[in-house]
Amino acid sequence: MGLYDHYEPVPAIDCPGCGARLDYFQGKDGPCAFLRWRQGSMHPVGFEGDPPTPSELTDYRLPDAFVFDAWCDCGHSVELTGFCSDGTWASTALGDASTAGPAIAAHEVSDGWRQCTRCAEAWACPERIGLCVCPSCRALTQLGSRPGEA
Ligand SMILES: [Zn+2]
Ligand SMILES: [Zn+2]
């Protein structure tokens, strides 16, 4: 067994602090066998160093939800949650959504800002990140509705 796995969200995530592209994430919610997971692939796309076990990569799967993170050079830590659909990593949320329930709506209030429909908190979040954890009430929010819509 290793200590972590390596995760590659697709599309890639930019640091919310400085905008730098983040391409090296680590997480401990998967098999922790130094595997390389890429969003959209059911099985690991590779491994770091020597194969950790004799198993073929196709023996490994991800859990339905898993948290992973990265430290940016600017000092910002970025936590993400991946979700599987039919056993394949299908979507990624900004923030730790491991204890959040199903996604609720978020409104886009202005460029790069969204508002939680549960607690009315507004915060900055890159527009192309659809799923984001509300920093106030910790709800998983999904962008897609405009103010005035349900
Ligand atoms: Zn940064
Ligand atoms: Zn909220």
pLDDT tens digits, one per residue of 43-93: 999 887 766 566 778 889 999 999 999 999 999 999 999 999 999 999 999
pTM of the complete model: 0.87
Q: Identify the nearest ligand to the CA of 106 by its number.
A: 2
Q: What is the pLDDT of residues 108-144, one digit of tens each?
A: 998 889 999 999 999 988 777 889 999 999 999 998 7
Strand partners, 17: none
Distance (Å) from CA 89 to ligand 2 centroid: 25
Q: How far is the CA of 135 from the centre of ligand 2 (A)?
A: 7
143 is written with which tokens? 């962008």
User: Residue 2: is its pLDDT beyond 80?
Assistant: no
The answer to whether 74 and 126 are in contact (CB under 8 A) is no
Ligand nearest to the CA of 21: 1
Residue 145 CA to ligand 2 centre (angstroms)? 15
Instruction: Please state, in angstroms and rounded to a whole number, the distance separating the CA atoms of residues 69 and 97.
Output: 12
Q: What pLDDT does 150 receive? A: 45
pLDDT tens profile 8-31? 999 889 888 898 999 889 999 999
pLDDT at 54: 61
